[in-house]
Amino acid sequence: VDEGQLKILLLERDFEPAKGQLSLIGGFVQDQESLDAAAYRILYHLTGLREIFLEQLHTFGEADRDPGDRVISVAYFALLKIQELDPDHVRDHGAYWCPVSSIPPLIFDHNRMVEVALRRLRIQAKVRPIGLKLLPEEFTLPQIQELFEAIYQRKLDDRNFRKKILQLEILEKLNRKDKRSSKKGAFLYRFNEEKYANYLKNGDRFEMLTIDVL
Amino acid sequence: VDEGQLKILLLERDFEPAKGQLSLIGGFVQDQESLDAAAYRILYHLTGLREIFLEQLHTFGEADRDPGDRVISVAYFALLKIQELDPDHVRDHGAYWCPVSSIPPLIFDHNRMVEVALRRLRIQAKVRPIGLKLLPEEFTLPQIQELFEAIYQRKLDDRNFRKKILQLEILEKLNRKDKRSSKKGAFLYRFNEEKYANYLKNGDRFEMLTIDVL
DNA sequence: CCAAAAGTGTTCATCGTACACCCATGT
DNA sequence: ACATGGGTGTACGATGAACACTTTTGG
């Protein structure tokens, strides 16, 4: 997320087929490599990052999805903190961040993959604190709110939002402020693993946010 | 679901490797066949049924999961109405229904697949009326309750359960009764597609049931 | 007539929602 | 002093949770 917009990393293909067209990041699984390992390797190659939220998304296996060979793609779903990527490194690999609100046509069924991923994000972000994987380590409440507004394309009420988020008791309040976006400054918070473990244990409720999807 | 127990269809392998051991149903994707089509084909072969709830579950791709060749398995998740299967047909194929509460060791990582599937069922049944895919076309409210109790391994309160289910307004009440389980008899209901479409439109709420998972 | 399952209503606590004003500070 | 974003509280309605008795009927 960046500038209040959810963004996705697209790649200009520098090889055939479909050279020059846009696609998602991808690659081939090696002989003695698990799918997960392959996904991490490919992502590391492009981003230079190791600690990344990555989960399997869906496997796309229509017989004619790739006009050339028969290819089955096991799609993965990664959440990156945009600030952690070296912009030059990204550009050198022919990649760029594209707002999800205006994704151009991509090769093969990659637009479909994006749809599935967005849908997954919107469902999961309600239920697990994965949204925070898109923010810096330290963030302000207005930032989280902006994040959720970007994910759900919807304005949220500040008072209710803060109440709900704080009530989860999974964040740790720091006594420093981020003054970049206002004179008053907003307190910084950090996700706290132990508190979250506790949250999962006690109560075991569901729903971080109550937002209708779709 | 059968006799208040959630059951899974297991297969005794009649070919190497691991001949004689138990596994899930499986097969190979053909050259010009999509993954979904393959799943339907394989399921039809074993069950003789066409109209089946089937969704992709997860793709298992550890390098060493099959001791022989490198095999990547795209697992699918099907919900069958146990009454619709011909018991002889099932037995002839070396298959049998096993209660999920006592699943024996299966080959390779199939036990893991069952775990993932059960987890998926428990999450999805809260949120979509897929539980009904496990019941006959016509069913009684006590039957649905028994079903949910089997899925979540938990006793539910009759009054609250009925209230919640009926309030969804997705069922159609028939004026016939099923008297097999009591002298009084319980009214039969049927899932109603239009009502459900309406339910999805209006309100767009979430959660069929509010039950904590895990 | 009785056992066994089906069916029904109310109270209470919790939580989501709507909504408007004061606070801190850099310029 | 003021503009800008950060921060706070309350009242209302909806919904989940707990809980006990009446109804029907085949044997």
The whole-number pLDDT of residue A126 equals: 86
Asked if B63's CB is within 8 angstroms of A59's CB, the reply is no
The whole-number pLDDT of residue B199 equals: 87
User: What confidence category does residue A204 fall into, taking pLDDT thresholds of 50, 70 and 90?
Assistant: low
Residue A104 has pLDDT above 70, yes or no: yes
> Which range, of A62-71, A197-206, B117-126, B168-177, averages the lowest pLDDT?
A197-206
Asked if B213's CB is within 8 angstroms of A210's CB, the reply is no
Give B165-187 as a DSSP string.
Answer: HHHT--EEEEEEEE-SS-SS-EE
| A16-43 per-position pLDDT tens digit | 777 889 999 999 999 999 999 999 999 9
The whole-number pLDDT of residue A205 equals: 54
Distance from CA(A160) to C1'(D12), angstroms, rounded? 15
What span, in angstroms and rounded, lies between the C-alpha atoms of A194 and A20? 46
Please name the member of B58, B74, B212 whose beta carbon is closest to the beta carbon of A204.
Answer: B212
The whole-number pLDDT of residue B207 equals: 55
- Strand B138-140 and strand B186-191: the pairing is antiparallel
The whole-number pLDDT of residue B208 equals: 54
The whole-number pLDDT of residue A213 equals: 44
Please give the protein residue whose CA is closest to the C1' of the nucleotide D27: B183
What span, in angstroms and rounded, lies between the C-alpha atoms of A5 and A2? 5
Residue A127 has pLDDT above 90, yes or no: no
Strands (E), chain A: 7-12, 22-23, 53-60, 73-79, 95-99, 138-140, 171-178, 186-191
pLDDT average, residue stretch B54-67: 96
- Residue A46's nearest CA partner among A80, A1, A6, A5 is A80
The whole-number pLDDT of residue B213 equals: 44
State which residue of chain B sits closest to A203, comparing Cα positions: B212
% of chain A beyond a pLDDT of 90: 78
pLDDT average, residue stretch A177-184: 96
| Chain A neighbors of B33, CB-CB under 8 A | 63
The whole-number pLDDT of residue A19 equals: 80
pLDDT average, residue stretch B175-188: 96
| B36-60 per-position pLDDT tens digit | 999 999 999 999 999 899 999 999 9
User: What confidence category does residue A203 fall into, taking pLDDT thresholds of 50, 70 and 90?
Assistant: low
Six token digits for residue A130:
């994965």
